[in-house]
Structure 1
Amino acid sequence: MKLKKWALLLAFGLLLGLLAACGGGDSEDAATEGEGTEQSADSADGENVLHFINGDTIPSMDPSMATDEFGFQFIGATMEGLYRLDENAQPVEGIATGHKVSEDGLTWTFTLREDAQWSNGDPVTAHDFVYAWQRAVDPNTGSEYGPYMMSGVIKNAEAVNEGEVPVEELGVTAEDDYTLVVELEQPVPYFESLTTFSTFMPLNEKFVEEQGDKFATSTDTLLFNGPYTLENWTSTAQEWDLVKNENYWDADTVQVDRINHVVVKDPATSVRLYEEGSVDRATISSDLVDQYSTHEDYQVVPETAVFYIKMNQTRNEALANVNIRKAISMGFNKDALVNEILNNGSIVANGLIPKDFVNLPDSEEDFREVNGDLVTFDLEKAQEYWEKGLAELGIDSLELELLGGDSETSKVMNEYVANQLSTNLPGLTVNLKNVPFEQRLDLDTNMDYDLQISGWGPDYLDPFTFLSLWITDGGNNKMGYSNEEYDALLQEAQSELATDNAARYENFLEAEKILFEDAAIAPIYQSAEAQLVSPKVQGVHVNPFGATYEYKWASVGSAE
């Protein structure tokens, strides 16, 4: 998932995880954006109310178009797919009450509940899923996540997106109003968890088509079928509310009446608001961790988001040189960055798959532990690769641009990385380009950058959610990386080995090694978040993938 979350943590702890989802978020932006501070207070009319901070505006509330943690967070709170994640990150009943899988693993038949409604009173039916999934892969829609999440998973998704067959041939049909049949390209071990993700949410076709280009640009152009509705929101709003959805099929479970969100980018301001009692949760930036680490409300929340430097091999020919990339990957001190700049419980990343994310099948061995450290800070080797790369290019100096977020903590981290590389690699000049989160997403999409600090939070519980980012011409690659052996390993893992999970993971282990032999990216850290959380905030689940927070089961407790 695009990691807005990452901006969160950075901005508050230098990163939040948001990620994710999922993908290409900026560390600093994510830290500020994805993480929120919450407050609970009783309003005058007796409502149970929470107050959160969001790191930035929400770029998109369109499930087909959202690519960042902020969008995923609020789509997840206001929408519901076939399933949603419980406190143990396991899929539980959503619009589906159950499903059956054919013996070959290719056909999934979902039974939908008949008491689910849209916020306008329309019933939620199987046709809403068919329309939404077709729309997500329709090339006329222009979705990034539709093709990314569905190609190679839903039958004919790739062919539909490439215009080879009509959308009606996508492998999803409504057998009747409350029976959804999904045909897969091959068995997908993690498919049930995929159905919890924003891209797979249903859409009311009549409403969406009536709104046209205005769909999902404001509260008035949205419909909801989840625990909350989104009120007082436009695409430029600095403040908005999640409001309990009385039409939600499980509304009796939802205990919080309103969750107010205000955009705040400055971590010091968020902590001040917490101290004043205006919010119930605040992310702590690195400079404040020592001051608040003994506070009774202090806690560290480990995350599964990983942050790294993307190296665009197309805009600057020097980055097409593997020795230049290796030099950059090894040429900055990650320990100092994690311990002194982040200082929030984050840990150094020396690979792509995060620690404590997945174990090898039928094993207690953590994937990260098995594959070990694939790239570490090594100044001597970095300088050797640097000199070799410059010689191959026939130059003695190089100027590169580093794209990052514009939050205060993001700027600090960006400056540190730029200074380390410029200092440690003789002849290198790194110029900073700090921009708002949404602009950074646009620059990434257009591959208009040299280096970019980015991050990824998983979209489902499988290594493929990370490794698929770097498939040749993949929707999230956006840096021109290509390796035929890498592609083949992942293709085999998702096809011939789809029913042999142990063999799949062997391919994943090897593919990750290739990624760092090529120095495709330069890993920086795996995020954690240092927070002050009021004891009033109860029942909020932190998801390992998808939307960062689950608020369906949240409640407002006593401050005592």
Structure 2
Amino acid sequence: MKKTNGLLLVFTLMMSLFLAACSGSSDSDTSSSENEGNDSSGSAEQVLHLTEGAEIPTMDSSLTIDALAAQWLGSTKDGLYRLGKDGETEPGIAKNHDVSDDGLTWTFHLRDDAKWSNGDPVTAKDFVFAWQRAIDPDTGSEYGPYMMDGVIKNAEEVSKGDMPVDKLGVKAVDDYTFEVTLKKPIPYFESMTAFGTFLPLNEKFVKDKGDQYAMEADGLLSNGPFIMKEWNHGEGWTLEKNPDYWDADKVKLDKITVKVVKDTASAVNLYETDAVDRVGLSSEFVDEYRSSDEFKVEEEPTVFFLKMNQNSKVLSNLNARKAIQMVVDRESMANVILNNGSIAANGYMPQNFVKHPESGEDFRKINGDLVQSDVDKAKELWNKAKKELGIEKADLRYLGGDTEVAKNLDAYIKDQLEQLDGLTVKVESVPFKVRLKRDEEMDYDIENYGWGPDYIDPNTFLNLWVTDGGNNKTGYSSKEYDALIKKAGDELAQKPVERFEAFLKAEKMLVQEDAVIAPLYQRAKAQLWKPYVKNVTANPMGPDYTYKYAYIEK
């Protein structure tokens, strides 16, 4: 979620659909101080002003699939665990947990002082309801089955309608004891519980609101650091400190305001006039501000690539897909078009994300470059594909974003692709919410797409592409690939070295052999941050940033 992370953004830097998860590194902290014991200036107004490049599609945690929603859900709600300093999990509603010897039963002990913003206590029943709702096929959640199938006992059977939702392996032992039974040992399950799909829901409130739940600010409940007080669709939203939050003493900000600004120049102007405290920079602004003390670059474990719809006659051809992989000059794209610290991606797994459990070597370094930019070779493969398809010309629809930077990048990629003789690419720039829908319906030929981790494990990237996977949406189906991912999740689950090797093989199959995607770049963010904003932490998954401990010091 990707964010993703989907798994999942500052959308003025957003070039394409980024699901679920967010990304970043602790190097982006605006203060080096620790979370505990921070204090803010007694005289400074504790208000943080931000921009985003798009509207939040939905704040319903059962239905969200994007990083923008993940950010603001993570700011207004606590799950069992949440992300704290350096992106590490820290206690949320769960004080702690126990795991059975076989790794299958997780018992979470909940705090008894957590409340919803309407005064109701947060209990184990709120987690049972939320998790059952997310897996219920009547809900239509993408992430419920994606995150729970094969992980929680009976999840797959429930999501397919073969079992009732009350058979899902979750139980409220009592008001403050929540028990989860897994289908198999999941070594990274604690980090999964910090993801948006697993946030609790107040059943009475959700049912009372009906189809108006999470559609407006008054259709939301908070149990986290902040409450969404205003939500002016298309314009922005306002969060205020939650006075009844169980950890309210640690929250220094009184308010966060967010404006929707799609144009980078307009956002930079707001920053220069002190109307906002952070701005994402597109390439034309990077050189201007690179020497500024307020300039920051964050490398993220987020990879962008071209999805190719194999239901298209042209893209059903392997040589056509390989030609598209090879024709784009990724180095120039990263260094000139983006110019924000992003690096060319010659594989799918991001660098500096996961390491071999024995040698400690980075996954990306072990697998090396799986694609190379080679226009002559690309043209050769393209001509071969045309002969195999019996065509001379091809028209492909390219699904992209409607922000200024997205349009610039998509125009560059269009020019690169049209180096292939007879290929015409029609770029369709649409709002983010429309892109989510069109991706779900596979209404595209080529799509500029991004993925960040939902948890810290190679599986969060590689299990996307199993047959009929909720986030596959390419028509790709390989029994061999499916078997490899299943093996990594089942019989190799407690054999870390062999499991890692299986993932290495899966990436080579996905990119090098089957050319399912065309890697583009690993994202970095070039930004300006006001120096008085302290203690904001960037996360490797889930919400892009943790604002719980942020404060203003002037």
- The secondary structure found in structure 1 opposite 2:211 is helix
Contact 1:5 1:17 in 2 (8 A): no
Equivalent residue for 1:482? 477
Contact 1:154 1:182 in 2 (8 A): yes
Q: How many Å apart are 1:140 and its aligned residue?
A: 0.5
Equivalent residue for 1:299? 296
Q: How many Å apart are 1:362 and its aligned residue?
A: 3.5
What amino acid maps onto 1:119 in structure 2?
S
**Pick from 428, 432, 448: which aligns with 1:433?**
428
Q: What CA deviation, in whole Å up to 9, does each residue of 1:138-163 have, x standing for no partner?
A: 00000001000111111111100101
What amino acid maps onto 1:498 in structure 2?
A
Q: How many Å apart are 1:47 and its aligned residue?
A: 4.3
Q: How many Å apart are 1:364 and its aligned residue?
A: 2.3
C-alpha distance in structure 2 between counterparts of 1:18 and 1:546, whole Å: 12
Q: Structure 1 pair 162/130, CA: closer, same or farther in 2 (3 Å)?
A: same
C-alpha distance in structure 2 between counterparts of 1:239 and 1:9, whole Å: 14
Q: Which 5+ residue runs of structure 1 have no aligned equivalent?
A: 24-34
C-alpha distance in structure 2 between counterparts of 1:462 and 1:216, whole Å: 31
What amino acid maps onto 2:269 in structure 1?
R
Residue pairs, 1:248-287, within 5 angstroms:
248-287=245-284
Residue pairs, 1:110-149, within 5 angstroms:
110-149=108-147
Q: What CA deviation, in whole Å up to 9, does each residue of 1:448-475 have, x standing for no partner?
A: 1000001011110001111111111000
C-alpha distance in structure 2 between counterparts of 1:122 and 1:170, whole Å: 25
Q: How many Å apart are 1:15 and its aligned residue?
A: 5.0
Contact 1:5 1:18 in 2 (8 A): no
Contact 1:53 1:264 in 2 (8 A): yes
C-alpha distance in structure 1 between counterparts of 2:361 and 2:546, whole Å: 28
Equivalent residue for 2:240? 243
- The secondary structure found in structure 1 opposite 2:223 is coil
Equivalent residue for 1:27? none
C-alpha distance in structure 1 between counterparts of 2:498 and 2:5, whole Å: 32
**Pick from 103, 106, 128: which aligns with 1:105?**
103
Equivalent residue for 2:36? none
Q: How many Å apart are 1:2 and its aligned residue?
A: 3.4
Equivalent residue for 1:32? none
Greater RCO (Cα-Cα under 8 Å, separation 6 or more): 2
Q: Structure 1 pair 338/265, CA: closer, same or farther in 2 (3 Å)?
A: same
Equivalent residue for 1:308? 305
Contact 2:129 2:203 in 1 (8 A): yes
C-alpha distance in structure 2 between counterparts of 1:324 and 1:342, whole Å: 26
Q: Number of residue pairs matched?
A: 538
- The secondary structure found in structure 2 opposite 1:88 is helix
Equivalent residue for 1:11? 12
Q: How many Å apart are 1:308 and its aligned residue?
A: 0.4
Q: What CA deviation, in whole Å up to 9, does each residue of 1:492-537 have, x standing for no partner?
A: 1111111111111111000000001110000000000111111111
Equivalent residue for 1:153? 151
Contact 2:80 2:194 in 1 (8 A): yes
Residue pairs, 1:394-405, within 5 angstroms:
394-405=390-401
- The secondary structure found in structure 1 opposite 2:98 is strand
What amino acid maps onto 1:11 in structure 2?
T
Contact 1:10 1:285 in 2 (8 A): no
Equivalent residue for 2:231? 233
Equivalent residue for 1:2? 2
C-alpha distance in structure 1 between counterparts of 2:236 and 2:399, whole Å: 27
Q: Structure 1 pair 17/47, CA: closer, same or farther in 2 (3 Å)?
A: farther
Contact 1:20 1:458 in 2 (8 A): yes
Contact 2:9 2:68 in 1 (8 A): no
Contact 1:22 1:67 in 2 (8 A): no
Equivalent residue for 2:170? 172
Equivalent residue for 1:419? 415
Q: What CA deviation, in whole Å up to 9, does each residue of 1:386-427 have, x standing for no partner?
A: 1111111011111111110011111111111011110x2111
C-alpha distance in structure 1 between counterparts of 2:126 and 2:318, whole Å: 47
C-alpha distance in structure 2 between counterparts of 1:418 and 1:399, whole Å: 12
- Of all paired residues, the percent bearing the same amino acid is 54
**Pick from 458, 463, 487: which aligns with 2:453?**
458
Equivalent residue for 1:82? 80
Q: What CA deviation, in whole Å up to 9, does each residue of 1:270-297 have, x standing for no partner?
A: 1111111111111111011111101121
Contact 2:303 2:348 in 1 (8 A): yes
What amino acid maps onto 1:425 in structure 2?
L
C-alpha distance in structure 2 between counterparts of 1:157 and 1:290, whole Å: 50
Q: How many Å apart are 1:10 and its aligned residue?
A: 6.9
Residue pairs, 1:520-535, within 5 angstroms:
520-535=516-531
C-alpha distance in structure 2 between counterparts of 1:132 and 1:10, whole Å: 28
Equivalent residue for 1:26? none
Residue pairs, 1:465-476, within 5 angstroms:
465-476=460-471
- The secondary structure found in structure 2 opposite 1:206 is helix
Q: What CA deviation, in whole Å up to 9, does each residue of 1:241-282 have, x standing for no partner?
A: 111101110000000000000100011111111111111111
Q: What CA deviation, in whole Å up to 9, does each residue of 1:324-375 have, x standing for no partner?
A: 0000011111111111110000000111110001111133211111111111
C-alpha distance in structure 1 between counterparts of 2:50 and 2:114, whole Å: 28
C-alpha distance in structure 2 between counterparts of 1:460 and 1:5, whole Å: 6
**Pick from 358, 361, 367: which aligns with 1:365?**
361
Contact 1:3 1:20 in 2 (8 A): yes
Q: Structure 1 pair 17/286, CA: closer, same or farther in 2 (3 Å)?
A: farther
Q: Structure 1 pair 78/178, CA: closer, same or farther in 2 (3 Å)?
A: same
Q: Structure 1 pair 251/17, CA: closer, same or farther in 2 (3 Å)?
A: farther
Q: Structure 1 pair 16/302, CA: closer, same or farther in 2 (3 Å)?
A: farther
Contact 2:3 2:542 in 1 (8 A): no
Q: Which 5+ residue runs of structure 2 have no aligned equivalent?
A: 31-39
Equivalent residue for 2:497? 502
C-alpha distance in structure 2 between counterparts of 1:365 and 1:121, whole Å: 49
- The secondary structure found in structure 2 opposite 1:63 is coil
Q: Structure 1 pair 8/136, CA: closer, same or farther in 2 (3 Å)?
A: closer
Equivalent residue for 1:449? 444
C-alpha distance in structure 2 between counterparts of 1:362 and 1:224, whole Å: 42
1:49 has 2:44 as partner: no
Contact 2:393 2:422 in 1 (8 A): yes
What amino acid maps onto 1:228 in structure 2?
F
What is the TM-score with the length of structure 1 in the denominator?
0.93
**Pick from 337, 345, 348: which aligns with 1:341?**
337
